[in-house]
Structures are given as C-alpha cells and as structure tokens.
Amino acid sequence: MATRVLSMLREASPWALAGAAAAVALLWLVAWTAEWAWLTPRRLDRALRAQGLKGTRYRLLTGDLRENARINREARAKPLPLGCHDIAPRSHQGKR
C-alpha cells in the first residue's frame, strides 16, 4: 500500500502536487475560520448562559449593531440638560 502511494506521488506532476497542497491549505483555512468566527463564540455563549449570565445572543456579522444604533438614536433624540458638561460620548460618537 505504501509503495503504491509513493509510486503515485512520483508519477504526479508538480502542478498536481501544488494544487493538492493548495486545496489542503484552503480547507484548513476554512476550518480555522469557522472555528474562530462561529464555533468558539457559540461555545462561550453557551458556557456563560449556563453560569446564569444574560445578554444578547452572538450574531456572526452584525453583532449588536442594530441595538447600538437604536440606543444612540434614542439618546440623541433628547437634548442634554442645561449645565451638563458630559458631551464626550456625543462628540466622539461621530468620529469613529
């Protein structure tokens, strides 16, 4: 069996070997990205909820953007009270 594999490798062209290596590397990259972007955060979310911590669910691309936009709209709809000098959250908000 091993000699058969070795003979197949000797007969394969360098481009075929390079293509196979690239395919393996791409498959590894896809698996690593799925682990990093989806599986690990979901595991962490489940573990934190099992401990009793609550919060918004993990969303892959948007996260809490919708909720943050809603909260910012509500905050900006109300004027600052007279004498309030806490303008940093509002002035730095637009510079992000």
How confident is the model at residue 74, as a pLDDT? 86
How confident is the model at residue 78, as a pLDDT? 81
Instruction: Determine the Cα–Cα distance for residues 7 and 85; give it in Å rounded to an integer.
Output: 78
How confident is the model at residue 7, as a pLDDT? 77
pTM here is: 0.60
CA atoms within 13 A on the CB side of 6: 3
Mean pLDDT across the chain, nearest whole number? 85
Q: Which of 22, 45, 26, 23 is nearest to 34 (CA)?
A: 26
How confident is the model at residue 39, as a pLDDT? 95
How confident is the model at residue 89, as a pLDDT? 65
List, for the chain, all residue ranges whose pLDDT scores fall below the cut of 70.
Answer: 87-96
How confident is the model at residue 84, as a pLDDT? 75
Instruction: Determine the Cα–Cα distance for residues 58 and 45; give it in Å rounded to an integer.
Output: 7
The ranges assigned to domains in the chain are: 2-78
